């Protein structure tokens, strides 16, 4: 079970490294470096195993239709996760510092122009998607398949949600992101198993992150106190996300059956 240990080592390296480079590099470069450090032990483990990155990650060519469906699946998964978040928020309020941290991060990422927007997208969406998918759906998921597909999906998603634990300046831990990141992790793991390639999971993950980044300023989440709960909106989004992700997942079946890993 080298892959889970490499993922844990990467998380520790990510935390330590981000503290070291934060002051000299600034916020967005620190995000990129932190994600690269997360992936580094997993890449090393894969290379040292002799499997190689291409074969180990299933980086096989896929039809354009499949790539488009992967992005659509990511958009539906975003709706599902936001709906779950809204329902969770109706029942369980996060600590005040959680919202303050979210607002601070997105204000630091707020673009000043088109090029700045591209840099922010790379830092918050594409690079995290590529690095986190490499670790969790690229190495940990295949390593756990010997326990069965269900156990592998759940175990991988638990590890993925665990890296989204947040801590305040005083050291208070927040588990608030765990439920919906766990659900997102399940969706991405199923996508990896369905296609046999890591590329669709990266595209879907980047779509989830990218839509979150792009819509945050319009959702009223970047200014002011905590908004009022919207359980009906959450339930609608959750239902639409479940139906949409299920539809796009089924549409992927036809052209990708020969490359499937376990579904």
Q: How confident is the model over 11-36, as a mean pLDDT?
A: 92
The C-alpha torsion from 229 through 232 and 233 to 239, rounded to 10°, is 130
- SS3 assignment, position 95: coil
For residue 141, the model assigns a pLDDT of 96
Q: Where along the chain do its domains lie?
A: 67-259
Could you tell me the pLDDT band of residue 32, with boundaries at 50, 70 and 90?
A: very high
Residues 37-88 have pLDDT tens digits of 999 999 999 888 877 777 778 777 788 999 999 999 999 999 999 999 999 9
pLDDT averaged over the chain? Answer: 88
CA 197 to chain centre: 16
Residue 157 has pLDDT above 50, yes or no: yes
| Contact criterion met (CB below 8 Å) for 201 and 67 | no
Residues 113 and 247 sit within 8 Å (Cβ to Cβ): no
- Show the tokens assigned to 219: 């959702």
Q: How far is CA 1 from the centre of its chain?
A: 22
Torsions phi, psi for 27 (to 5 deg): -70, -55
DSSP three-state, residue 166: strand
The secondary structure of 211-225, three-state, reads: HHHHHHHHCCCCCCC
Report the percentage of the chain scoring pLDDT > 70.
92
Angle at 185 between CA 50 and CA 38, to 5 degrees: 50
Higher local confidence (pLDDT), 239 or 98: 239
Band of residue 171 on the pLDDT scale cut at 50, 70, 90: confident
- Rounded to whole angstroms, the Cα distance separating 221 from 133 reads 27
The closest of 196, 184, 87 to 141, measured between CA atoms, is 196
Query: In this predicted structure, what is the pLDDT of residue 257?
Result: 46
Q: What is the pLDDT of residue 224?
A: 65
């Amino acid at each position: 079970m080298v892959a889970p240990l490499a993922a844990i080592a990467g998380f520790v390296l990510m935390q330590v490294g981000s503290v070291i480079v934060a002051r000299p590099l600034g916020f967005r470069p620190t995000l990129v470096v932190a994600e690269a450090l997360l992936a580094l032990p997993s890449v090393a483990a894969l290379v040292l195993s002799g499997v190689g990155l291409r074969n180990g990650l299933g980086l096989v060519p896929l039809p354009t239709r499949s790539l488009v469906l992967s992005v659509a699946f990511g958009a539906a998964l975003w709706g599902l996760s936001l709906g779950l978040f809204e329902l969770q928020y109706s029942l369980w309020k996060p600590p005040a510092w959680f919202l303050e941290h979210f607002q601070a991060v997105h204000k630091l990422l707020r673009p000043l122009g088109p090029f700045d927007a591209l840099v922010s997208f790379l830092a918050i969406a594409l690079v995290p998607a590529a690095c986190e998918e490499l670790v969790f759906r690229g190495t940990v998921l295949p390593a756990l398949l010997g326990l069965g597909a269900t156990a592998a999906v759940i175990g991988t998603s638990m590890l993925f949600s665990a890296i989204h634990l947040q801590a305040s300046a005083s050291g208070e831990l927040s588990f608030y992101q765990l439920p919906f990141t766990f659900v997102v992790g399940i969706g991405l793991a199923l996508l990896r198993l369905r296609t046999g390639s890591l590329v669709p999971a990266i595209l879907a993950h980047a779509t989830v992150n990218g839509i979150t980044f792009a819509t945050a300023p319009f959702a009223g989440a970047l200014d002011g106190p905590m908004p009022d709960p919207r359980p009906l909106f959450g339930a609608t989004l959750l239902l639409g996300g479940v139906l949409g992700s299920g539809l796009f997942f089924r549409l992927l079946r036809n052209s990708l059956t020969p490359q499937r890993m376990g579904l």
